[in-house]
Amino acid sequence: MVFNSYSFALFFVLLLVLHNLPLPWKAKKINLLLASYLFYALWNPPFILLLWISTVVDFYMARLIAREQRSAPRKLLLTVSLLLNLGMLSYFKYGGFLLENFTALLSAMGIAFHAAQPDIILPVGISFYTFVTLSYTLDVYRRKAEPEPSFLNFALFVTFFPHLVAGPIVRPEDLIPQFKEPHRATTQQMTWGLFLLSLGLFMKVVVADTLLADSADTVFGVPFPVQPLDAWMGVMAFSGQIFCDFAGYSTCAIGISLCLGFVLPDNFRYPYASIGFSDFWRRWHITLSTWLRDYLYIPLGGNRKGAARTYINLMITMLLGGLWHGASWNFVIWGGLHGIFLCAERLIRDWSGKRQRNFAEQNRSGQVLTGTVAQASMLPVSWNGKLGNFGLALLTLFLVDITWVFFRAPDFGSAMRILLSMFGVIPNGAALLTSLDILKVSSVTVILMACHWAMRNSSLVKLGARLPWWLLSLVWAGMLILLILTQKSSNSFIYFQF
């Protein structure tokens, strides 16, 4: 079930009524759990079995791990849990990809091998709920958390429908404590939750699907080069689309949870106003980046094992993060590019830090190079000023957009063709987008960037509290009216396929 559907509207209204009936807390939790299973099963009922397997195995494995004191059996139990979760993920998500590459490898070695095409359907949200259950087992293994004694609380933590299929990727400490005590939304939570739901649907249905998707699909869908303007517009359209689609989903999920009285973690903080890539990853898909940091980067050694290992760890984390998004080399390249940009940023920061320290030392000992001072004063802007930061944010967005080409293009050849078209390397490309398309994409891009820049150090809650109530109402009504004008859109969210 997608949030932008009539079936969800009916489901949500019925669930809100049930959740607000004077029932015992346990009954309400059972309602939520059953509703979550229904929410998932309405896509493809058999896949609910995978969810059940993952839930049951991880619940009992975590208990066994916590009870076991000896290191080897603990490791064995953890391995069973990892094998099961990652095995299911690998089979459903990467089975075809692995077979395809294995065939290509054999073919490159001159061995003719024709594997039967596996007809594997990817269960919706498997990457998300696998990471949710893994974080629980790993936390218990690392003795960071106690195993949850209540199966109901644990099953609801894994299955709670707002986050189930596309995040935010919750940790045990985010949700399980909230299930222990009765929760019901206050009037304030309910209204703010409905506002967030409206905002998320507006981002998805109006901006991503109606204003941007067509232009991105057109440019990325043709098998020939396009004019630089078209290529840039296509990439900017996708850049806006992926943000509004995914952040729209997260905003809906947070809003829906709030209407039920639960708080989910933030997943986006205006990422297109990021200054640098480490800032970007503190603002984009925050729950994934922190998951990768805590369960991959830090266990690999993080930055504790010297400079070279830090860079290697960063690259491994980003390459695997790319692969998490999908079984394609393009996602690996996307992750790799982010890894390279993160490494480059770290190098520059280290170098600049070293330089500043040297400068300060020389300053203290009276050896300031007058030439350097003169050079610095001739620069038109200071990188630490607002204008400089804005320039750096634009540079970051430019590089992020380059990486989106690999994320969106169906294959490497198409990605290269778009990139070459963007920089005018391929002459005589076709003009594809109409004046209306260009107007839509450029307006949305400018508005989106302005919003991100204005909100960079703020939050919606703060903005909501600052705005006069009637102005908030006008904005809210405007979004809902555009949503109604756009009408039903049952397009799936892009991140469902991950």
Partner 1 sequence: MTPLLKSSLLTLALVLTFVVGWELYWRSQNLGLSYNDDESLWAHTRKEIYRSSPSRPVIIGSSRVKFDLDLATWEATTGEKPIQLALAGTAPRPLLTDLANDPKFKGTLIIGVTEVLFFAPDGSFPEREATKRVNFYPKWSLSQQISFHINRVLEPWLYFLDEERLALRPLLTDLPIPPRPGTWGGPKFPKEFSIIQSDRQEVMTDAMVADTAIQHQVQAVWVDIGAHSPKQTMPDAMVTGIMNSVKKSVDQIRARGGQVVFVRMPSDGPFYEAEKMSHPREKYWDRLLAHTRTPGIYFADYPALSKYRCPEWSHLAPKDAVTFTQDFIPILKQKTGWPITIRSTPKPALTASLPPHP
- Quote the least distance from Cβ 5 to partner 1, whole Å: 5
Structure tokens at 77: 């139990």
* From 52-60, 355-363, 379-387, 426-434, span contacting partner 1 (CB under 8 A): 426-434
Q: Does residue 464 interact with partner 1 by CB under 8 A?
A: yes
Q: Does residue 17 interact with partner 1 by CB under 8 A?
A: no
Q: Does residue 477 interact with partner 1 by CB under 8 A?
A: yes
Q: Which helix (H) or strand (E) holds 484?
A: helix 469-486
Which one among 436, 450, 454, 463 touches partner 1, defined by CB under 8 A?
A: 436
Q: Does residue 440 interact with partner 1 by CB under 8 A?
A: yes
Cα distances from 26 to residues 13, 190, 387, in angstroms, run: 20, 21, 55
- Quote the least distance from Cβ 409 to partner 1, whole Å: 18
Question: For residue 168, is the peptide bond before it cis, meaning its omega torsion is within 30 degrees of 0?
Answer: yes
CA separation for the pair 32, 24 (Å, rounded): 13
CA separation for the pair 129, 144 (Å, rounded): 20
Q: Does residue 120 interact with partner 1 by CB under 8 A?
A: no
* From 305-313, 345-353, 364-372, 468-476, span contacting partner 1 (CB under 8 A): 468-476
Q: Does residue 49 interact with partner 1 by CB under 8 A?
A: no
The reply to whether 452 belongs to the active site is no
Which one among 16, 106, 316, 472 touches partner 1, defined by CB under 8 A?
A: 472
Other beta carbons within 10 angstroms of residue 461's beta carbon come to 10
Pick out residues in 195-224 that bind partner 1 (CB under 8 A): 195, 206, 210
Pick the closest to residue 68 from 54, 84, 82, 79 (CA basis): 79
The DSSP annotation for 258-281 comes to HHHT-------S-GGG-SSHHHHH
* From 62-70, 310-318, 380-388, 467-475, span contacting partner 1 (CB under 8 A): 467-475
Q: Does residue 473 interact with partner 1 by CB under 8 A?
A: yes
Q: Does residue 443 interact with partner 1 by CB under 8 A?
A: no
Helix (H, G, I), strand (E, B) or coil at 16: helix
96 or 391: CB nearest partner 1? 96
Amino acid at the residue 414? S
- Quote the least distance from Cβ 473 to partner 1, whole Å: 4
Pick the closest to residue 240 from 220, 222, 216 (CA basis): 216
17 or 111: CB nearest partner 1? 17
148 or 230: CB nearest partner 1? 230
Give yes or no for a contact between 215 and 237, defined as CB atoms under 8 angstroms apart.
Answer: yes
User: Which phi and psi angles does 430 have, rounded to 5°?
Assistant: -85, 145
Task: With CB under 8 A as the rule, give the number of residues binding partner 1.
Answer: 48
Structure tokens at 203: 């981002």
CA separation for the pair 164, 54 (Å, rounded): 13
Q: Does residue 428 interact with partner 1 by CB under 8 A?
A: no
Which residue is catalytic, options 183, 325, 338, 452?
A: 325
* From 102-110, 172-180, 189-197, 372-380, span contacting partner 1 (CB under 8 A): 189-197
45 or 413: CB nearest partner 1? 45
Q: Does residue 1 interact with partner 1 by CB under 8 A?
A: yes
357 or 466: CB nearest partner 1? 466
Pick out residues in 324-363 that bind partner 1 (CB under 8 A): none
Which one among 294, 476, 496, 497 touches partner 1, defined by CB under 8 A?
A: 476
Cα distances from 269 to residues 226, 258, 298, 412, 441, in angstroms, run: 33, 18, 23, 30, 22
Q: Does residue 413 interact with partner 1 by CB under 8 A?
A: no
Structure tokens at 297: 């980067």
Amino acid at the residue 326? G
Task: Kindly provide the b/e burial profile for residues 148-168, where b requires at least 16 CB atoms within 10 angstroms of the residue's own CB.
Answer: beeeebbbbbbbbbbbbbbbb
Give yes or no for a contact between 178 and 189, defined as CB atoms under 8 angstroms apart.
Answer: no
Which one among 20, 31, 103, 191 touches partner 1, defined by CB under 8 A?
A: 191
Q: Does residue 106 interact with partner 1 by CB under 8 A?
A: no
Which one among 16, 30, 194, 343 touches partner 1, defined by CB under 8 A?
A: 194
Tell me how many degrees the CA angle 85-89-91 measures, rounded to the nearest 5.
115
The catalytic site residues sit at 325
Binding site for partner 1 (CB under 8 A): 1-2, 5-10, 41-45, 187-188, 191-192, 194-195, 206, 210, 430-436, 438-440, 464, 469-470, 472-474, 476-477, 480-482, 484-488, 490
